[in-house]
């Protein structure tokens, strides 16, 4: 072995020896006493966990731990996503639950999946170590290592329970053991920061989970599926898997009142110490399931209540059609925004921002028109970005679709192309929006905060940097704010013509 391998082996042997030392047994116990004790322990899972895993069960569990285990142990067919903060023992608690089920014969075929095979094997090793070195398990359930397959990434106990590590994207074929298809799938640490920066990689991994991994199960036998992972990005495997789960539980290091959710383990002073050593964004991602895409310009977005739209001194519908005609992929995002100006403040009332087809973009324009009518706004313009690069696209693609929609609905739109010659996108966004945002004069509509389109806008705003690939939403918002700003300036500028002072509109 290399020097690094020898060092790792030394640590691993010490870990297994610690399990052996921390699980002493009573050799003088009679068979009747042992059987009675086992029955009592199995009837109370928390006592079972504490007896067989004292090295993990080092302090009293929190109420959410007990509730979670009750769900898992009482539902053979169950799908749960655990977005528990770091230091809340989501992996350790899951391991104790799975050991409880497999040692009692409730589950027979376990697959543990992670972002890579090496990581999956690392997460499976504690199971193997417990089977090899936990003297209490050996005394009550018999020696577990089998004479056949007993490797780090794949092993089968003497009782016929199989465990297998699998990296994301690997073929799950061959996971059937005798008549048992996988009845337990554990997904842990599936997301990586690098992959979350590329939505296509997340989509590919999700496709593998749903089309290759989960179908290894039997339809007629119940499957337990547990996903352990923090929300490290707005769009990641955890957020998407949670949408289909029976239960998605988000537990942060502190509760809504600002107190530790597990004070027996994590004191307020300890939490304060840890948070003081890392950035705000890191703390939000790792301990509060609130990932923030950090850019160079906007550190936070202000949400608030907006005045009635008809009370605004100026209202603009601004849109950017982009030139892509795709509703998914890595192309640019199209956008339609309703922006109002009132008492020095700019308000983003309504937004549509996503990758979509040209026809959907035109539908958004009509949705914005209907929004303005519902708000009883009489005078406004719908601007469509149409710079030199987009002019053929606007004339040949967008306008015909608008005319077609107008003929179908009998409703004409007050369209005005925005032909402004624009400098670099980043410098425009920074120059126009950063000052008013920093001064608290840029307000996002709080009633739209949960709207996916508004969420995409916030994410793009927070991600604005000189190297950012997608700031189409902030670019459109800059266009709307710039038009309002310049129109307000013109309306409030006095011009002298001879001896007469007049106002130019």
Segment-wise mean pLDDT, segments of 10 residues, the chain, 505 residues:
65 79 88 95 97 93 97 97 96 97 96 95 94 94 88 92 94 74 95 89 95 93 96 92 96 90 94 82 83 74 94 92 60 88 94 90 93 87 78 81 89 86 82 90 95 90 80 92 80 49 44
Specify the pLDDT at position 325: 60
Tokens standing for residue 409? 């609905």
Burial class (CB in 10 A: 0-12, 13-18, 19+), 144: buried
Quote the DSSP letter at residue 213: I
Tokens standing for residue 342? 């009132």
φ, ψ for residue 284, nearest 5 deg: -65, -40
Q: How many C-beta atoms surround the C-beta of residue 99 within 10 A?
A: 23
Tokens standing for residue 452? 């996916």
Specify the pLDDT at position 365: 93
Angle of helix 63-74 relative to helix 90-103, nearest 10 degrees, comes to 30
Q: How many Cα neighbours within 13 Å face the side chain of 310?
A: 8
Q: Which CATH class is domain 3-251?
A: alpha beta
The H or E element spanning position 270 is: helix 268-276
Quick one: CATH architecture of 302-491?
A: 2-Layer Sandwich (3.30)
φ, ψ for residue 77, nearest 5 deg: -105, 110
Q: Which SS3 state, helix, strand or coil, does residue 341 take?
A: strand
Q: What is the pLDDT of residues 428-469, one digit of tens each?
A: 888 889 889 988 999 999 999 999 899 889 988 988 887 777
Q: Which SS3 state, helix, strand or coil, does residue 478 take?
A: helix
Torsional class of 498: left (φ above 0), alpha (ψ -120 to 50), beta (otherwise): left
The H or E element spanning position 365 is: helix 358-374
Specify the pLDDT at position 393: 80
* Residues 6 or more apart whose Cβ sits within 8 Å of residue 390: 321, 323
* Residues 6 or more apart whose Cβ sits within 8 Å of residue 295: 461, 462, 463, 464, 465, 468
Q: Which SS3 state, helix, strand or coil, does residue 440 take?
A: coil
Q: Which SS3 state, helix, strand or coil, does residue 30 take?
A: coil
Residue 411 CA to residue 405 CA, distance in Å, equals 8
Residue 222 CA to residue 107 CA, distance in Å, equals 9
The H or E element spanning position 360 is: helix 358-374
Residue 383 CA to residue 317 CA, distance in Å, equals 6
Specify the pLDDT at position 148: 77
DSSP letter string, 126-176: HHHHHHHH-HHHHHHH-----SS-B-SSEEE-TTS-EEEEEETTS--TT--
In the chain, domain spans: 3-251, 302-491
Q: Which of 312, 333, 314 minimizes the C-alpha distance to 323? A: 333
**How does strand 381-385 pair with strand 314-320?**
parallel
Residue 348 CA to residue 448 CA, distance in Å, equals 10
**How does strand 302-304 pair with strand 442-445?**
parallel
Specify the pLDDT at position 87: 94
Specify the pLDDT at position 379: 72
Residue 107 CA to residue 103 CA, distance in Å, equals 8
């Amino acid at each position: 072995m290399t020097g690094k391998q020898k060092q790792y082996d030394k640590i691993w042997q010490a870990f297994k020896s610690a399990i052996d030392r921390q699980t002493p047994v009573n050799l003088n116990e009679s068979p009747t006493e042992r059987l009675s004790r086992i029955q009592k322990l199995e009837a109370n899972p928390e006592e079972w966990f504490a007896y067989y895993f004292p090295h993990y069960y080092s302090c009293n569990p929190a109420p959410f731990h007990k509730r979670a285990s009750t769900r898992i142990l009482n539902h053979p067919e169950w799908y749960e996503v655990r977005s528990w903060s770091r230091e809340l023992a989501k992996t350790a608690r899951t391991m104790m639950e799975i050991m409880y089920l497999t040692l009692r014969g409730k589950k027979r075929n376990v697959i543990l999946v992670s972002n890579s095979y090496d990581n999956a094997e690392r997460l499976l090793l504690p199971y193997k170590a417990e089977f090899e070195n936990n003297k209490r398990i050996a005394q009550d359930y018999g020696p577990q290592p089998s004479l056949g397959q007993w490797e780090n990434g794949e092993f089968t106990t003497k009782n016929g329970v199989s465990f297998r590590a699998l990296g994301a994207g690997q073929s799950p074929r061959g996971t059937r053991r005798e008549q048992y298809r996988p009845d337990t799938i554990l997904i842990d640490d599936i997301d990586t920061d690098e992959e979350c920066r590329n939505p296509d990689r997340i989509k590919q991994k999700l496709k593998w989970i749903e089309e290759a991994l989960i179908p290894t199960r039997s339809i007629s036998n119940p499957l337990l599926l547990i996903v352990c992972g923090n929300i490290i990005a707005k769009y990641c495997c955890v957020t998407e898997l949670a949408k289909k789960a029976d239960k998605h539980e988000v537990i942060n290091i502190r509760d809504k009142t600002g107190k530790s959710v597990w004070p027996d383990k994590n004191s307020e002073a300890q939490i304060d110490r840890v948070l003081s050593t890392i950035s705000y964004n890191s703390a939000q991602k790792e301990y509060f399931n609130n990932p923030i895409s950090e850019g160079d310009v906007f550190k936070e977005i202000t949400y608030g209540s907006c005045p009635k739209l008809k009370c605004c001194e100026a209202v603009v519908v601004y849109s950017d059609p982009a030139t892509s005609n795709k509703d998914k992929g890595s192309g640019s995002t199209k956008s339609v925004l309703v922006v109002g100006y009132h008492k020095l403040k700019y308000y983003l009332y309504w937004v549509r921002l996503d990758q979509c087809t040209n026809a959907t973009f035109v539908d958004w324009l009509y949705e914005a028109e209907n929004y303005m009518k519902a708000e009883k706004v009489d005078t406004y313009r719908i601007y469509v970005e149409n710079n030199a690069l987009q002019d053929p696209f606007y004339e040949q693609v967008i306008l015909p679709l608008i005319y077609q929609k107008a003929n179908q609905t009998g409703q004409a739109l007050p369209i005005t192309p925005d032909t402004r010659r624009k400098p670099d996108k980043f410098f425009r966004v920074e120059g126009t929006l950063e000052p008013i945002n920093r001064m608290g004069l840029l307000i996002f509509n709080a009633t739209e905060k949960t709207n996916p389109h508004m969420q995409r806008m916030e994410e793009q705003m927070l991600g604005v940097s000189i190297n950012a690939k997608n700031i189409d939403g902030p670019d459109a918002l800059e266009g709307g704010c710039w038009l309002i700003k310049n129109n307000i300036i013109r309306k409030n500028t006095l011009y002298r013509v001879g001896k007469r002072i007049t106002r130019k509109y």
